[in-house]
Amino acid sequence: MSADILELLKGVDLFSRLSDGQIEMIADVVNRRKYSKEESIIHEDDDSSHTFFMIASGEVKVYLSGSDGRETILALLGPGDFFGEMALIDGEPRSASVKATCVSELVLIQRNDFIQKLRQFPDLAMSFLEEMSHRLRKANRQISSLSTLTVFGRVAGTLLNLAEERGVRTHFDGGRMVTKIPNKPTQQQLAEMSGTTRETVSRVLNSLKKKGVIAIAGKDLIILEDTGLQESNPPL
């Protein structure tokens, strides 16, 4: 067991209620694997893989493929995030595909080991249920957004979700507090998360920048005015 694995597990919200000794017991049953950029990790409908994944470094995208070949990104996950939990519980095929967006290192736990730890540590089972509930609520919001909002609203909603999940409050431009989204997704990724095209995302982002709602600073996206994103169906 390596010290960095222990530190990774301690940083995963799912294990936040566990003692150091319990986390060490989980560390004893994990494996590590590196994935190259664009390498597939999980295939939708695959029923042969029963593994729980945690991200040690890098980034992955969770997505669905439509009949026309277009992808809808459900989430972009980074260090400390995890995925693959649903198939572990119900034994059903994978509900989505996962691919590395850059060179990534993952920590893997096999289904039997994971189920054993859920039974062994009630606090882990409770954290697991809370996380599943959180993800279900997020999925419901995303489905509602795709079906009821304008394109502008969908892109704005995607930015708000990113701010909630990975945003950092920081000082910007004279000291005012803003929300920074580090290593912003590409316009193509934002399009796949919002159910639209890259060209449309570009127009929406340009409109938001002109209105002073967002700014781009290198690889980071800065949300200057949350209320500008929360307005319903604002005109372009």
CA dihedral 150, 152, 153, 158 (to 10 degrees): 130
CA distances to 68, 69, 143, 160, 217 from 193, rounded to whole Å, are 16, 15, 11, 12, 21
Residue 202: pLDDT band by 50, 70, 90 thresholds? very high
Q: Give the whole-angstrom CA distance, residue 111 versus residue 62.
A: 20
In the predicted structure, residue 47 carries a pLDDT above the cut 80: no
The string of pLDDT tens digits covering residues 94-133 is 888 999 999 999 999 988 898 898 899 999 889 888 888 8
Domain with CATH 1.10.10.10 in the chain: 150-230
Residue 146: pLDDT band by 50, 70, 90 thresholds? low
For residue 62, which of 46, 80, 78, 79 has the smallest C-alpha distance? 78
Residue 210: pLDDT band by 50, 70, 90 thresholds? very high
The whole-number pLDDT of residue 8 equals 83
CATH code assigned to 3-145: 2.60.120.10
* 150-230 topology per CATH: Arc Repressor Mutant, subunit A (1.10.10)
The whole-number pLDDT of residue 236 equals 44
Residue 191: pLDDT band by 50, 70, 90 thresholds? very high
User: What share of the chain in percent tops pLDDT 90?
Assistant: 30
The SS3 call for residue 18 is coil
| Total residue length of the chain | 236
Domain with CATH 2.60.120.10 in the chain: 3-145
Instruction: Name the residue with higher pLDDT: 66 or 72.
Output: 72
Q: Give the whole-angstrom CA distance, residue 104 versus residue 94.
A: 20
The whole-number pLDDT of residue 201 equals 95
For residue 123, which of 51, 24, 22, 12 has the smallest C-alpha distance? 22
CA distances to 78, 87, 136, 193, 214 from 82, rounded to whole Å, are 8, 13, 15, 19, 29
The whole-number pLDDT of residue 177 equals 87
The whole-number pLDDT of residue 1 equals 53
